[in-house]
Structure 1
Amino acid sequence: MFTPSQAGFRRLLPLLRPHLRQLSWGVLCMLIYVGSFPLLIRLAGQLFPALGSGDLNRVLGLIGLALVIFAVQKLAQFGQDSLLAGPALQVSQRLRSDLFRRLQTVELGALEKLSAGDLTYRLTEDADRVSEVLYKTIHDTLPSLLQLLAVLGVMLWLDWKLTTAILLLAPVIVWLISLFGARVMVATERSQKKVSELAGLLGEAIEGLPLVRAFAAESWLQDRFEGEIDQHRQARHLTYSLVALQHPVVGSIEVAGLFAVLAMGAARIQSGDLDINGLSSYLTGLVVLIDPIAHVTNNFNEFQQGQASLKRLRQIEQEPQEPPDPVNAVPIGCLQGDLKLEQVSFGYDPSQPVLRSVDLSVQAGEVLALVGPSGAGKSTLFSLLLRFNTVQQGRILLDGHDLSRLRAQDLRRQVALVPQRTTVFSGSVAEAIRFGRPASDEDVEQAARLANADDFIRALPHGYATQLEERGSNVSGGQLQRIAIARAVLGNPSLLLLDEATSALDAEAEAAVQLGLKQAMAGRTVLVIAHRLATVQEADQIVVLEQGRVVDRGTHDALMQRGGRYRDLCERQFIRDLQNS
């Protein structure tokens, strides 16, 4: 079963080590279960002649003994199945947990390229299939293989010549099972890929239904969806067809072998090399062989499908990870917020830098606005400050500490982000503000007051205990943004990053959010990505980025008087605003 493969099922075996005690008891029950088969076969060989002789006492004695052995066997089977189920499920849980932990450290650039629907399918359906295969391997396939060996041993002892003739069929059956299994694995990989694509399309469709309706594109989406499910059907049908074809092919060989044994057994009895007792035991053993062979065949197909699932799970491990924390990380406490960038260069593709030799200096408590066209490097600069990416040249200092020398979590406790598009997890409002941090109710309410959110939260049906629905759909955009501000300031960060947090709001909501931002910004170093230039006029510094370079800097008034790129951007936006109004 555990053949070398790209999936690497053997790599799961170390995860079973913490459960060796439970596994040992399970294996003991398995050995009792398997060991009962030779005894039952032996009793069957004695029972049939006793029936023919009409010896009632002997028949009843043999039946009673068989019932006792059978009862012990079934108790052992129950112990085997129940004891071995736990470790298999715990390994699956550990695998899923480890992969999700690893997923949280995948580089954001790589993560954005992955389909949410595909990842969801891998960590749910694929992980479940791996669990099922592991469970069946431990509690079903392994006992079936041991049963095969035990029964074949008895049959060799009864008549080694006849058994040797049967074993000549074994390579043919194994070859056919392997041949079908390899094709089943390929077909399963294709099928699972189609399911992942279908899950991705469903995620996009559900989130984008309002847009679909707005463009009257329902027919287009329906056609696309039906095309995806048809491809999925075809892929699944191929898998089912291969499995369905395997059963009659392998079964025909097994039946041919059975008839051959009957013919050879009759010849052996006629020649006097085998008596009726031996033949009865032998045929009983042959019947007992059928069930484990069927189990091994079916489970091998499922194992191949499980390998395809495990291979897809392991692909998550191959995604590039965030840079690790330095070995000798510098400990930091509460910082003031002095920020300095020295000749910082970075590119997602090193041959095409996004930021080029950027120098910036921001004093603690100052507000710096970043302006410039799309692609100028503003968001990339934020990703460097949060250490989602690491500078390739130069360095970034926070209170004199090089960011590359800090633990990522220590840094991110000092740097908070308010994104342009707020994301919240389902749960209470208080939980959305805490966001997994150990904060008291008083701290949560203080953060909400700073964000100008306390009044509207208390007006909700259950106040801070009000449950937010998926994507915060039961509160307004302005309210959601103020919750995001409260979430950002809860940890009292020294550096606050604002990605134009009001650009998608109406005037009334923007005023409420602006008040929350003003209160949240007090006493902190703030960097603002500004798309609407009217929002940055009061910044202490305005830096103009273009093609990854700082092309101008200064206050709003100074930059307007100087002319140049900033004034050009302002005048263009002012003209657009006049035209729109």
Structure 2
Amino acid sequence: MTMRSCRIEGLLRRALEYRSALIRGHIAAVLATFLTVMIPLFIPILVDELLLKKSDTMTHWVATHIHPMSLEGYVFFFLGVVIVLRGLGFLLNVYQVKTFLGISKDLAYRLRRSAIGHLEHVSLKEYETSSSGAIASRLVTDIATVDTFIGTTVSKFVISVLTLVLTAVVLLIIDWKLALFILVTNPVVVFFTAKLARNVGRLKREENRAVEAFQSALTETLELFHQIRAANKEEYFFSRIIREALGLRDRSVEYGYKSDRAMRLSFLIFLSGYELFRSVSILAVAYGGLSVGLMLAVFGYLWIMMTPTQDVINFQYALASARAACKRINTIFEMEREPEVADPVDPFSGKTTVAIRTENLGFSYRKGRKILKNITMEIPAGTKVAIVGPSGSGKTTLANLIVGFYPVEEGRILYDEVPHDRIALPTIREHVHVILQHPKLFNDTMRFNLTLGRDVPEEKIAEAIRIAQLEDLIETLEAGLDTMVGRDGVRLSGGQRQRVAIARMILLDPEVVIFDESTSALDVHTEAKLFEALQAYLAPKTVITIAHRLSTIEKAEYVFVLEDGHLADQGRPEELMAKEEGYFARMI
């Protein structure tokens, strides 16, 4: 079942879905705790019966039912029993920890899968304003914090509570007055440590923010390293990473030593209580009739209580850290998703191409600043049109709306007279493909970058390579199509990356193709050869070309001119070029 948020309480409820594993784990925990709590009871046997000779209950039972023994025999016999009990307790504890870890790892996987599944459907506008380093930190570091809390801390907490409960029962049997004094005083420790844990949670959030800032700076610098080196700004950007690393160090030191100080202070309070309880136990021997052996057993139980009490204390700090991590993970689930369409229609089904029409189209990235204003245009099916205009006029934004990258805010886009709000955005993107000016490539093989991991016949790949004018390039690669192209295709030139993107489009075979300055890095001769090879392939398709070159625009059947976000002019290329005013006149 998909998770919609990260809440510790919700995750613990989901853990109940693993009922059989939980039952086995808890049975192991109860048995391990029972065996551990029984061990101090052997102290009165060794002291009161063997050394002080005050009773012989247990030694008599051993002599009767097993075999009479000497003093040394009884000592080593009970030593063997204790070692066996500790060994069994160890095995049971390992089993229950393994069980809890299995549950926590699966919950962490489901949480991570749900977050990634949400990211898959997040709107592009959200991605453009989010840091990839921050998202990665939440998916890795913060989910790991939650995982550790559920798998390790909670399992320790269960064992600790069971140990404290069973220890309390045994102490009440040994001496109820002394036990009540210990049990009433002990919660004071937990009360004070709960107050200390709140500040630790705040410090953990600050440390997480520092981790996010460092990862964002590092990721951005590595992704843009080519441009940074071209601008000779390595020192500035790597100094920024070092500053973020310094901030991370300071936050980590502050969180580390203050959380450690708080835990040590909590433990100091507990140890003070331990010394108090030990002193009261000695008085119970002197004035209350408690035997020396039972007093030593009480000391043993006080020592047993130290680790569980510390685990209960640490649980509060771990809970504070896990809540802080969940809060950051929830920023992913709060990212706006693309709108979903009920009963969607597919206007592309069974067609070679479609007509596109926009009506009063408007769009803004931020409120109050419109990028597109009342754009109305009609592109008949199979028509080759160009969209031109100065930089910042809204050409790429219009292409992004037509291809379904952004949801339409005002007006309508119709595909063969079917409005956009009746078509699922993934369906639009499947059939309308945009080739960007600066295409991104994966740090993988040339084959993967062409096919995007799909199983494509070799003859189709060869045809796409031929049309995209990539044959000469492939021949020069040492491993051909299996050559790694490097991070973001760094081993290829800008024009080669653009032609790879065009070959990728050919293999996807969309009904509508948008060229967004897709050949700007090619020389005029190579561009002419490319479009000549593309002519037959593009003939039946609707093609939109965003360009500045006159040679490219002249090939269009119709041209739309955008200026300052509105449609300033339109017409056939020769008509617009004949005008004495307007964008074309300034361009020529």
TM-score, structure 1 length as denominator? Answer: 0.90
1:140 is aligned to 2:156: yes
Q: What is the match of residue 431 of structure 1?
A: 448
CA contact (8 A) 1:418 1:501 kept: yes
CA contact (8 A) 2:214 2:245 kept: yes
Q: What is the match of residue 577 of structure 1?
A: none
Corresponding residue to 1:498 among 502, 505, 515:
515
Q: Percent identity?
A: 26
CA contact (8 A) 1:368 1:542 kept: yes
CA contact (8 A) 1:38 1:151 kept: yes
Corresponding residue to 1:308 among 302, 307, 324:
324
Please give the alpha-carbon distance, in whole angstroms, between the structure 2 residues aligned to 1:451 and 1:199: 38
Pairing of 1:42-441 with structure 2 (within 5 A): 42-52=41-51, 53=53, 55-213=71-229, 215-221=231-237, 223-324=239-340, 326-332=341-347, 333-335=349-351, 336-349=353-366, 351-441=368-458
CA contact (8 A) 1:478 1:510 kept: no
CA contact (8 A) 2:154 2:315 kept: no
CA contact (8 A) 2:363 2:408 kept: yes
CA contact (8 A) 1:130 1:309 kept: yes
Q: Relative to structure 1, is the Cα distance of residues 517 and 115 closer, same or farther in structure 2, using a 3 angstrom cutoff?
A: farther
Deviation of the 1:420 alpha carbon? 0.8
Q: Relative to structure 1, is the Cα distance of residues 183 and 207 closer, same or farther in structure 2, using a 3 angstrom cutoff?
A: same
Q: What is the match of residue 557 of structure 2?
A: 540
Deviation of the 1:496 alpha carbon? 0.7
Q: What is the match of residue 446 of structure 1?
A: 463
In the TM superposition, what whole-angstrom CA distance separates every residue of 1:382-424 from its partner, at most 9, and x where no partner exists? Answer: 2222222222333211123222212222222111121111112
CA contact (8 A) 1:451 1:515 kept: no
Would you identify which runs of 4 or more consecutive aligned residues in structure 1 move more than 6 Å? none
Matching residue's letter, 2:261? L
Matching residue's letter, 1:327? A
CA contact (8 A) 2:388 2:559 kept: yes
Please give the alpha-carbon distance, in whole angstroms, between the structure 2 residues aligned to 1:247 and 1:137: 15
Tell me the SS of whatever aligns to 1:489: helix
Moved more, 395-404 or 202-211: 202-211
Q: Which runs of 5+ in 2 are unaligned?
A: 54-69
Q: What is the match of residue 7 of structure 2?
A: 8
Q: Relative to structure 1, is the Cα distance of residues 178 and 454 closer, same or farther in structure 2, using a 3 angstrom cutoff?
A: farther
In the TM superposition, what whole-angstrom CA distance separates every residue of 1:283-335 from its partner, at most 9, and x where no partner exists? Answer: 211111111222333343333223222221111111111112x1211245133
Please give the alpha-carbon distance, in whole angstroms, between the structure 2 residues aligned to 1:99 and 1:25: 30
Q: What is the match of residue 36 of structure 1?
A: 35
Deviation of the 1:351 alpha carbon? 4.6
Moved more, 116-125 or 72-81: 116-125
In the TM superposition, what whole-angstrom CA distance separates every residue of 1:62-89 from its partner, at most 9, and x where no partner exists? Answer: 3333233222211111211222222211
Q: Relative to structure 1, is the Cα distance of residues 367 and 444 closer, same or farther in structure 2, using a 3 angstrom cutoff?
A: same
Deviation of the 1:219 alpha carbon? 4.6
CA contact (8 A) 1:342 1:395 kept: yes
Please give the alpha-carbon distance, in whole angstroms, between the structure 1 residues aligned to 2:533 and 2:322: 52
Deviation of the 1:494 alpha carbon? 0.6
Please give the alpha-carbon distance, in whole angstroms, between the structure 2 residues aligned to 1:522 and 1:148: 80
Aligned CA RMSD, in angstroms, stands at 2.5
Matching residue's letter, 2:35? S
Q: Relative to structure 1, is the Cα distance of residues 530 and 258 closer, same or farther in structure 2, using a 3 angstrom cutoff?
A: same
1:23 is aligned to 2:38: no
Corresponding residue to 1:553 among 567, 570, 574:
570
Please give the alpha-carbon distance, in whole angstroms, between the structure 1 residues aligned to 2:521 and 2:309: 65
Moved more, 85-94 or 561-570: 561-570
CA contact (8 A) 2:221 2:238 kept: no
Matching residue's letter, 1:329? P
CA contact (8 A) 1:29 1:79 kept: yes
CA contact (8 A) 2:37 2:163 kept: no
Corresponding residue to 1:470 among 487, 494, 499:
487
Tell me the SS of whatever aligns to 2:365: coil
CA contact (8 A) 1:498 1:529 kept: yes
1:487 is aligned to 2:487: no
Please give the alpha-carbon distance, in whole angstroms, between the structure 1 residues aligned to 2:462 and 2:176: 83
Tell me the SS of whatever aligns to 2:513: strand
Matching residue's letter, 2:120? Q
TM-score, structure 2 length as denominator? Answer: 0.89
Matching residue's letter, 1:388? F
Please give the alpha-carbon distance, in whole angstroms, between the structure 1 residues aligned to 2:475 and 2:23: 57
CA contact (8 A) 1:323 1:389 kept: no
Tell me the SS of whatever aligns to 2:370: coil
Q: Relative to structure 1, is the Cα distance of residues 360 and 24 closer, same or farther in structure 2, using a 3 angstrom cutoff?
A: same
Q: What is the match of residue 60 of structure 2?
A: none
